[in-house]
Amino acid sequence: METNFDQDVIAAIFKFVWSKKAIDREKIEDGEASKGEERAGTSKKNRPTSANPNAVRLSCELLRLFVTEAVQRAATIAEAEGGTKIEATHLERILPQLLWRSSLRCSWML
Amino acid sequence: MDPVTMEDCFDVSDTEKEDDEEEATAHLRDRFRISTISIAESEAKRNNLEISQSVIVCISDLAFKYAEQLADDLELFAHHANRKIVNMNDVILSAHRNKHLADTLRAFSHDLKAKEPHSEKKRKKSSSSNKEDKGFSSVHHIDP
């Protein structure tokens, strides 16, 4: 099998982001509750998001594709320039296009 | 002890928490980078090229940022569907702007499903459990 990201690491990153956001949600809710609003089952509502194992595996693949695509594109530039090593200047040239095309957050303008 | 500023007095627990958070992130970032190095180096080797460490570090940091944004997106998608658990469709959805990427992920998700004997049986028996997938493929076909 091809080398890929460690599922444990990706799951840990997700868990880290999600538990941080769950704490933020709780804080907001606490603020609202103190204003006298009724809140039922808040603990359940604020439980952090989790992911099923296949979703984590698929995320590993998505991130692996991101890395391989970045390397491939930089490699194309390096080869075109007749080099034998991928250098920072090659990466610089492919970076804008890569980020615009593969990142959801940046590609909303397209 | 260090000189304590006004801010520290008010938010001691918060700053401590931030330090812990930074440490945890740094640790995750390091483990993430180890994987990136092996992926990037094997990919460069396929092109008979070397790859400089600074390039790998940069790609790794970008991919890490991407993973954090992905976590944000996946949570939003799952919550929008009234779920607390992220599934494979959420991951595919996150790549919807890049058609080629979404197709690749969809194929990969089918492979993963096929590896699970229980879910496969269920899916073959009842077409209703396939609704989610059908929703996706029909959207896909409508697309010009």
**pLDDT at residue B16, as a whole number:** 77
Question: Residue B19, Cβ neighbours under 10 Å: how many?
Answer: 10
Using a CB–CB cutoff of 8 Å, tell me whether B101 touches chain A: yes
Mean pLDDT of chain B: 80
List, in sequence order, every beta strand (DSSP E) within A1-110. 50-51, 85-86
Q: Which sequence spans correspond to the domains of chain B?
A: 1-83, 87-144
Best B97, B111, B119 member to test A by mutation, with max A CBs in 10 Å, is: B97
> Does A35 share its domain with A68?
no
Q: What is the mean pLDDT of chain A?
A: 82
Task: Write the residue in A54, A61, A67 that is nearest to B40 by C-beta.
Answer: A67
Contact check, Cβ <8 Å, B28/A104: no
Name every residue whose Cβ is closer than 8 Å to that of residue A95 and which is 6 or more positions away in sequence: none
Give, in degrees to the nearest 5, the angle at Cα A12 between B43 and B89: 75
Which amino acid, residue B126? S
* pTM, full prediction: 0.77
How many independent structural domains does chain A possess?
Answer: 2
Whether residues A34 and A78 fall in one domain: no
Total number of residues shown for chain A:
110
Residues of the domain holding A109: 61-110
Band (A98; pLDDT cuts 50, 70, 90):
confident
Is the minimum CB–CB distance between B28 and chain A shorter than 8 Å? yes
Q: Are A86 and A45 found together in one domain?
A: no
Coil, strand or helix at B19: helix
Task: Give a yes or no: residue A35 inside a domain.
Answer: yes
CB pairs under 8 A between A and B: 175
Q: Do the domain assignments include residue A56?
A: no
pLDDT of residue A42: 52
Closest residue in chain A to residue B92, using alpha carbons only: A58
Read off the pLDDT of residues B26-81 as tens digits, 9 standing for 90 and up.
999 999 999 999 999 999 999 999 999 999 999 999 999 999 999 999 999 999 99
| pLDDT given for residue B27 in this prediction | 93
Q: Is A104 among the domain residues?
A: yes
More confident site: A96 or B127: A96
The model's confidence at residue B136, banded by pLDDT at 50, 70 and 90, is very low
Contacts of A88 in chain B (CB under 8 A): 52, 54-55, 58
Q: In this structure, is residue A85 part of a structural domain?
A: yes
H helix or E strand, kind and range, residue A107: none
pLDDT at B104 over 80: yes
- Determine the average pLDDT of the residues in B123-138: 46
Who contacts A71 (Cβ-Cβ below 8 Å, separation ≥6)? A86, B39, B40, B43, B44, B51, B59
